[in-house]
A = this chain, B = another copy of it.
Amino acid sequence: MSSEPILKSHRRPGVETTVVSVRNVRFGDGSYPVLAGPIAVETEEQIVDVALAAAEAGVSMLRSAAYRAETSPYGFRGLGEEGLWHLEHAGKLSGLPTISEVLEPGHVELVADHVDMLEVGPDNMQNFVLLRAAGTVGKPVLLHRGPSATVDEWLMAAEYVLAEDNDAVVLCERGSRTFDPRTSDTLNISAVPVVQQMSHLPVVIDPAPTAKGHDLVKPLALAGRSVGADGLVVATHPDPGNAKAGNGGQLDLAELRQLREALGIPSRRDEIDRVDRELVKLVARRLHASVEIGRIKAKREIPMRSLDREAELIGEARDDAIAVGVDPDYVEALFTVILDHSRRAQRAAIDLDSSSEKAD
């Protein structure tokens, strides 16, 4: 233990936790994002239904498998590429970033083309060829701990991704193989602070393999947040009893909403109200500032409207829109309205000023 190697995955003294961003989701910044979805994409309708319900329930990311690591050769192996298209579509409709499992090196690029984050499952934690391939494609990677992997082996597996110059790795503790049939893959909650002390990588928990057959998801989700985990993976399905894969361990959509309430996550509707209020305030501040600028221009007799400046401003807004994954035309339309109103307010203010000047 004394001469441990210095690895890229290890935390150097004084170094903060790496924040891994997947569009608007942040792992490692103190938040507790929830990744939810059915074990497998079954139909377009199923994944769209889950995606909309998950978004409404305040979930952060949509997670589902198109390629499944199925224990039996006679089980459901997933829809393959078709499933990726459905998942991408559901992500767009719901506005949620997406994550899906990759099973073989030859599929890494294909999966990466459709989703925002790749997932490497517990069975493949030491599939080193796959880890290398996943590291090279430029997408964040969620790396599950193998059911009998030590923390050191888990970090060494992460090192395979980091060694390809991809720092965007999130670790997932999902339970270790133990002797007790009642919690056979037992969530090792203490692994969360142990990893956080040893490594700068964020670590999330997945209670499903422990919780199977018990009502344990909610208490373990709460415990995970208290212990300092950087997120939560939850399996959910519109009709768990008839799921094609993973039946038994998935929450139905009502249970998902109850979990959201237990975690105190605002519903999407509440969030919209809050965002709307913020928007109104921002628009007001913008208007106020632009009126002030208008007045200064008027005093200095600078022309009120600069078409170059407006074009530049709209161009920047479009770039920003693309960067955060919003349609730039939509943003341009918004800004057209905003700029139009600004000009009218400026004019009204100046007219007011000049009439009052005249009044002096």
Per-residue contact bits, chain A 124-159, to B (CB 8 Å; 1 contact, 0 not): 101111101000000000000011101111001001
CB–CB B220/A159 < 8 A: no
CB–CB A128/B73 < 8 A: yes
Per-residue contact bits, chain A 175-190, to B (CB 8 Å; 1 contact, 0 not): 0111111111011111
How many residues on A have C-beta within 8 angstroms of the other chain's C-beta atoms? 64
Among A47-97, those with CB < 8 Å from B are: 69-74
Per-residue contact bits, chain A 83-124, to B (CB 8 Å; 1 contact, 0 not): 000000000000000000001111000000000000000011
Does A283 sit at the interface, judged by CB under 8 A? no
* A160 smallest CB distance to B (angstroms): 5
Binds B, one of A191-199, A237-245, A292-300: A191-199
Binds B, one of A15-23, A223-231, A324-332: A223-231
CB–CB A179/B150 < 8 A: yes
* A175 smallest CB distance to B (angstroms): 8
Number of copies: 4
Does A211 sit at the interface, judged by CB under 8 A? yes
Query: Which residues on the B side are within 8 Å of A156 (C-beta)?
Result: 71-73
Q: A106-B106, A127-B123 are in contact. Are A150 and B182 (CB under 8 A)?
A: yes
Query: Which residues on the B side are within 8 Å of A132 (C-beta)?
Result: 73
Does A254 sit at the interface, judged by CB under 8 A? no
Query: Which residues on the B side are within 8 Å of A279 (C-beta)?
Result: none
CB–CB B180/A176 < 8 A: yes
Does A222 sit at the interface, judged by CB under 8 A? yes
Interface residues of A (CB under 8 A from B): 5, 69-74, 103-106, 123-124, 126-130, 132, 146-148, 150-153, 156, 159-160, 163, 176-184, 186-194, 197, 207, 210-211, 214-216, 219-220, 222-228
Extra contacts besides A148-B177, A182-B194 (6): CB < 8 Å: A104-B130, A105-B105, A150-B182, A186-B188, A193-B214, A226-B227
